[in-house]
Amino acid sequence: MKIDILTIFPEFFDGVFDVGIIRRAKLAGIVEIDVHDIREFARDKHRKVDDRPFGGGEGMVLKPEPLFRAIENLLGTSDRSEYEEGTHVVMLTPRGKPLVQTNAAAIADKAKRVLLICGRYEGVDERVMSAVTDEISIGDYVLSGGEPAAVVLADAVTRLLPGALGNEGSAENDSFSRGILDYPNYTQPREYRGMEVPEVLLSGNHEEIEKWRHEKALEKTRGVREDLLKEKGE
């Protein structure tokens, strides 16, 4: 998969994709991630990428010209109908649809190229949306820009690509992958500060272990995210 990121602060991403799972996926050729400075596509001598909004209001808005040029430089076109199959142009914005595990899985499964646009200031000129295929939000809050969201989305998608994880079953058992939160995990030592590992996990009875894990996952979900169970009809 190829992931391109458009931002006015490329330095934000220095080193962020050079650790952990994403680094291993890059080295293995599973994913390629490139960061592009939107200012490189501005034509005036000051490399201006923003301006005041028509109609008045606070703040600045990212201009359409540099963004259209950037999209066309990377994809060859800004016409959605002409994008190659498997191309997703994603605007990271608080008004987008929430990023949930199923969204990340769909992108990982179907997308071949993902272009992430990091908004800034008061937003992006609405005309840019004509070149966008997806609007995604990572939560009901406002960030200074789309850069943190781009990191979140790139990570969520990359770890679901075939071969990215050492154990493919890890992704299947993640929170949300089954529609509920993850079960509790334990490791050595068996006893620590008076807290012991549940006996069932030491029993070797895999059927009972799976039953215990499912019950604990449901218990955790009821206590923290009951809305997920309502969505599943449980």
Q: How confident is the model over 116-133, as a mean pLDDT?
A: 93
Residue boundaries of the structural domains of the chain: 2-158, 175-232
**Of 24, 39, 72, 94, catalytic:** 94
pLDDT per residue over 55-100, tens digit each?
888 889 999 999 999 999 999 999 999 999 999 999 999 989 999 9
Q: What is the pLDDT of residue 4?
A: 98
Q: How confident is the model over 26-41, as a mean pLDDT?
A: 97
Global pTM value: 0.83
138-141: list long-range contacts, CB under 8 Å, 24+ apart: 138/92, 138/98, 138/99, 139/98, 139/99, 140/94, 140/98, 141/94
**Of 65, 122, 135, 219, catalytic:** 122
Sign for the CA dihedral angle at 5, 114, 70, 124 comes to negative
Closest CA to 116 of 83, 152, 69, 85: 152
CATH 3.40.50.2000 for the 2-158 domain, yes or no = no
153 vs 144: CA distance, rounded Å: 16
pLDDT above 70 for 177: no
Share of the chain above pLDDT 70, in %: 93
Answer CATH for 175-232 from 1.10.150.120, 1.10.1270.20, 1.10.3720.10, 1.10.3210.10: 1.10.1270.20
Amino acid in the structure at residue 17: F
Q: What is the pLDDT of residue 181?
A: 87
136 vs 111: CA distance, rounded Å: 15
Q: What is the pLDDT of residue 26?
A: 97
Q: How confident is the model over 178-199, as a mean pLDDT?
A: 90
- Cis amide leading into 189 (omega within 30): yes
**Of 174, 178, 219, 222, catalytic:** 174
The alpha-carbon radius of gyration of the chain (Å, integer) is: 22
22 vs 154: CA distance, rounded Å: 9
Asked if 122 is an active-site residue, the reply is yes
Average pLDDT of the chain?
91
Asked if 94 is an active-site residue, the reply is yes
pLDDT above 80 for 111: yes
